Amino acid sequence: MIDLERDGAVFVLRMRNGENRFNQSSLAELNRALDEVEASEGEAALVVAGEGKFFSNGLDLAWMAGAGREAVEQTINDVHRLLSRVLVFPMVTVAAINGHAFAAGAMLALAFDFRVMRSDRGYVCLPEVDLAMKQPLSPGMTALLQARVAPPVLAEALVTGRRYTAAEAVERSLVHESAAEQQVVPRAIEIAREMAGKDRETVGAIKRGLFATTVAVLETPYTL
């Protein structure tokens, strides 16, 4: 379930589906909410948060296990499109990382312009090394990570599968800052409000220029 509300110039989108894993249903719902935000008028910025102890645990592996190859490919391509969309979204975006951000959930957080992480609980983790997958990362996912994470940090994160606390994530620039549990969303809203007056067309154009190569890879059809 997705809740979308507006706090002045700031849209606050909350993912409220347990671990907030990605499947065709949840992705469609996220995109509908983003459509509404993008269709709005006036000054705006976007904050996205999870609920409880999860921001997002990434792909819905249990659903994918019984979905069939075609549906799995479609879902991965839809995740790529979501990552691309958030990466170049035509307003300033802030991820309020209220809890665990794992795998594609961590990638989604990294696609935002700014990231605030809960200081006392939760990890950012890219655990693909421990999943024993033949294709642990798609080219699009790799491209996104390379665009957002410093090479030594990315190598450490991917080869070790390390779970980073908020303090460790700040140290490695995986997130911009940390905050106490009750302050994560308010701080994200504060950052977003400061940036809401930026011209949407200009913000979008800057992002598309910065991330043109990454977007091209993310939007290339992926097959298993």
pLDDT digits (tens, 9 = 90+) for 144-154: 999 999 999 99
pLDDT in tens, the chain (224 residues): 899 999 999 999 999 999 999 999 999 999 999 999 999 999 999 999 999 999 999 999 888 888 888 989 999 999 999 999 999 999 999 999 999 999 999 999 999 999 999 999 999 999 999 987 778 899 999 999 999 999 999 999 999 999 999 999 999 999 999 999 999 999 999 999 999 999 999 999 999 999 999 999 999 999 98
pLDDT digits (tens, 9 = 90+) for 91-132: 999 999 999 999 999 999 999 999 999 999 999 999 999 987
Work out the widest C-alpha separation in the chain, in whole angstroms: 47
38 sits in which H/E element: helix 24-39
- E-strand stretches of the chain: 2-7, 10-15, 45-49, 54-56, 93-97, 100-102, 114-118, 124-125, 163-164, 177-179
Q: How many other CB atoms sit within 10 Å of the CB of residue 34? A: 21
**3-class secondary-structure state, position 14:** strand
Query: What token pair was written down for 106?
Result: 């961590």
* pTM for this predicted structure: 0.97
User: For residues 104-137, b (16+ Cβ closer than 10 Å) or e, as one string?
Assistant: bbbbbbbbbbbbbbbbeebbbbbbbeeeeeeebb
Class of domain 2-218: alpha beta
Tell me how far apart the alpha carbons of residues 43 and 41 are, in angstroms, rounded to a whole number.
7
Q: How many other CB atoms sit within 10 Å of the CB of residue 38? A: 17
215: Cβ contacts below 8 Å, ≥ 6 apart: 84, 87, 88, 208
